[in-house]
């Protein structure tokens, strides 16, 4: 993947995470945070060097968000 695009995906991930702290509805917080975590997983996987410390916690958080958004609903 284009390194410039990977960098912008990382920035987009940061924007989503910050936005998740601004909204008030719990389900919307989880959805926005999920988008941010997915972007961070993509960022970590496609960086010049695979960033496992970024991928692993964000992948786990993705699973937690999916659980609470769709399974526990």
Q: pLDDT grade, residue 72 (50/70/90)? A: confident
pLDDT in tens, 18-55: 999 999 999 999 999 999 999 999 999 999 999 999 99
Q: Where are the beta strands (DSSP E) in 1-73?
A: none
**Contact partners, residue 66, CB within 8 Å, separation at least 6:** 34
Helices (H) and strands (E) in the chain, counts: 3, 0
Q: What is the pLDDT of residue 12?
A: 98
In the chain, % helix, strand, coil (3-state, to 5) comes to 80, 0, 20
């Amino acid at each position: 993947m284009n390194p410039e695009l990977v960098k912008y995906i990382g920035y987009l991930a940061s924007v989503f995470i910050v936005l998740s702290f601004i909204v008030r509805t719990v389900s919307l917080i989880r959805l926005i945070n999920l988008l941010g975590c997915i972007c961070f997983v993509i960022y970590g996987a496609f960086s010049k060097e695979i960033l496992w410390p970024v991928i692993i916690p964000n992948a786990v958080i993705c699973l937690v968000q999916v659980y609470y958004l769709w399974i526990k609903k």
